[in-house]
Amino acid sequence: MNDFEPNEPDNCGAVYTDPVRDAARNIFGISSLYPWQRLVIANIMESAEAALTAKPDIAVKNSEEPSTACCASADYDRATECAQSAECSRSAECGRDPGNRGKQIVLLPTGAGKSLCFMIPAVLFPRPTLIIYPLLALMSDQLRRIRQAGLDAAVLRGQQSAAERESNYKKLEQGAKILIANPEVLQSPAVIERLKKYRIMHAAIDEAHCIAEWGDSFRPAYTTLGSILRQLNVPVVTAFTATASPPVLERIRDVLFAPETAYLIRSSSDRQNIAYRVHRSDAKRKTVLQLVTEAERPALVFCGTRVLAQKTAYLIRELLGRDAVRFYHAGLSKEEKKDTETWFYPRTDAILCCTCAFGMGIDKPDIRTVIHLEAPPTVESYIQEAGRAGRDGRQSQAILLWSTDDSLKAKKYSPYSRERILADFAEAKSCRRQVLLDALAAERTACSGCDVCEAAEAGTVLPEISAEGSLVRTLVARNKNRWTVSEAAEILADKMNTCSPLRIWDKDDFRYVIEQLVAAGILTDTGTFQRNRLSFPGKTEIRTSRRFPPRKRNRLLRPKTDSPRQKRRISSFLNAFFAVFYGIGQCIRQNSNK
């Protein structure tokens, strides 16, 4: 046990009081801390103490406050001593100089309590802690939790009026311990000059993998964080993330700490209570309807765009009703976001269709299912968003919908690129969990739940194409008749309209599936002169409608043998057809002889 009980004596008979443990229990309602939390807290507090000892003028004196430096605080000294005593084995990289521990990258799995690692020191420091978040939703969620703990915090973000910003500065002057901001607001020289007055003690960059994922593309403010923190003369800087492969870690080091080194503290990245599954589907929006009716709730459905999040929510509403689902994305107003969050957090049967704006740090512990309608751009994003499930430790599942089109897109990337890793995960023939751990360069563990391992234990094999794709392929392979794409789609939609799980599918859904199978080469276009055909190798062909558009009337499956009446109709049609062409040929020959 790494937490001291109240008034527990050490080996020499001294009695410890532990402000770290007391803050965790009394303020945040946490009865005990993990060893890695103790280690990170110890490094933060030791580094701050070392910095203040070397530069005592860092402690700014307000007229209402005593002129005692932070390191002279009795509570602070006891907290540092207890954190040192309780820490687990520290990395050899840190050395013996506590000042060297002030630059850390902390890699812990989602739900492992990263927030406490900077919240507890923030409470014990008499000077502010700056916490940098990537998303407004995450800032709002953290502010809600801080206020629930009975604390106050200042918030700096975009679209604040001058009066709102001044009100937040006043909170810092009145003793607020926590300042919440995003990278963009720190680009203002006026903000930087104002913050210099408060002499920030510790800067915590949450979701630091965004430095690599977003900083070099659409959020360049992330790439300036290192220089900004040096302008503010922040003695202790800690980057926190749940997902970072070696290239991402290197990028974080370069942006925040270069040319100095940073020390990595990591725990196992494996979330053993999350079962990873991949559902192959070529018409995802209809598949997600089936999944949300069967999966345990609350559930998150991650969508690639704002429009897709809204359309998916409306589609689910048609099936389950308006009260069952809402959508969330960055385009909503502040009031709409707050209303959606208030609706979602207490409910146990809710479904939320969202973009990546809801994918980091949102602390709803009882989410049972996370569904990805579209694959995120990187494996780090997927692990981060899938990690929203099961934060209470109960068994949960993360389902990725993977289409033929996804597979074709993934093949365009280099086999060893970050973008290709998620395709390796989706198309894995062995444990999916190990693919994720290997991507993070984490230690391998026994699989605690994935569909590949479960299928192997049951002696079955997962299908290589979607269920609907397999249905189309079977239809083409087993029937002698030839249909256009539209006719085949009509047949499937009609036959599935009764008792099949695919009964909610329509003709357009099946048509899209057929087009996906053509693109993947499962059905091929023969490209003949008179009619282009789709075929299953060695089997019957389906005609495309490039030259002869399909008839508009509905068609059902025709019997393998035509009736006498049908034969007579076909015979008369063919006689008339060839008579016309015979007449055309005669005219051509006569003209050529002239």
Q: Using CA atoms, how far apart are residues 238 and 262, in angstroms rounded to an integer?
A: 9
Is a pLDDT exceeding 60 seen at residue 503? Answer: no
Higher pLDDT, residue 492 or 213? 213
- Per-residue b/e over 243-258, b at no fewer than 16 CB within 10 Å? bbbeebbebbbebbbe
Burial of 579 (0-12, 13-18, 19+ CB in 10 A): exposed
For 249, the token pair is 């870690």
Q: Could you give the angle at the alpha carbon of 444 between the alpha carbons of 441 and 450, nearest 5°?
A: 110
Compute the Cα dihedral for 301, 307, 310, 312 and give only its sign: negative
- Listed in sequence order, the residues at least 6 apart from 123 whose beta carbon sits closer than 8 Å to its beta carbon are 23, 27, 151, 177
- Res. 191 pLDDT band, cuts 50 70 90: very high
pLDDT at 542: 47
Alpha-helix runs per DSSP H in 441-484:
451-458, 467-478
What is the value of pTM for the model shown?
Answer: 0.64
pLDDT at 575: 62
User: Average pLDDT over the chain, rounded to whole?
Assistant: 76
- CA separation, residue 159 to residues 32, 193, 335 (Å): 39, 19, 14
pLDDT at 113: 80
Q: CATH: 3.30.1490.20, 3.40.190.10, 3.20.20.480, 3.40.50.300. Which one for 274-458? A: 3.40.50.300
- Listed in sequence order, the residues at least 6 apart from 228 whose beta carbon sits closer than 8 Å to its beta carbon are 186, 187, 192
| Strand order from edge to edge, sheet including 299-302 | 274-280, 396-402, 369-372, 299-302, 351-354, 325-328
Q: Using CA atoms, how far apart are residues 313 and 324, in angstroms rounded to an integer?
A: 9
Closest CA to 421 of 461, 381, 392, 362: 381
- Res. 187 pLDDT band, cuts 50 70 90: very high
Strand partners, 397: 275, 369
Do 428 and 402 contact (CB within 8 A), yes or no? no
Q: Give the type of residue at 293.
A: T
CA end-to-end span of the chain: 108
Strand partners, 144: none
Do 358 and 246 contact (CB within 8 A), yes or no? no
- Listed in sequence order, the residues at least 6 apart from 101 whose beta carbon sits closer than 8 Å to its beta carbon are 43, 44, 46, 47, 94, 263
pLDDT at 502: 53
For 517, the token pair is 């199978």
pLDDT at 579: 62
Stretch 100-119: mean pLDDT, rounded? 83
Stretch 246-262: mean pLDDT, rounded? 89
pLDDT in tens, 341-381: 889 989 999 999 998 877 665 678 899 999 999 888 888 88
pLDDT at 252: 93
Is a pLDDT exceeding 90 seen at residue 171? Answer: yes
Topology (CATH) of 467-543: Arc Repressor Mutant, subunit A (1.10.10)
* Domain residue ranges in the chain: 8-266, 274-458, 467-543, 563-594
Query: What is the DSSP secondary-structure string of 94-155?
Result: G-S-GGGGGEEEEE--TTS-HHHHHHHHHHH-SS-EEEE-S-HHHHHHHHHHHHHTT--EEE
Which CATH code is given to the segment(s) 8-266?
A: 3.40.50.300
Token pair 């194409």: residue: 465
Closest CA to 504 of 316, 357, 230, 276: 316
Is a pLDDT exceeding 90 seen at residue 308? Answer: yes
pLDDT at 218: 82
274-458 and 467-543, same CATH topology: no
Stretch 443-458: mean pLDDT, rounded? 85
pLDDT at 95: 42
pLDDT at 417: 75
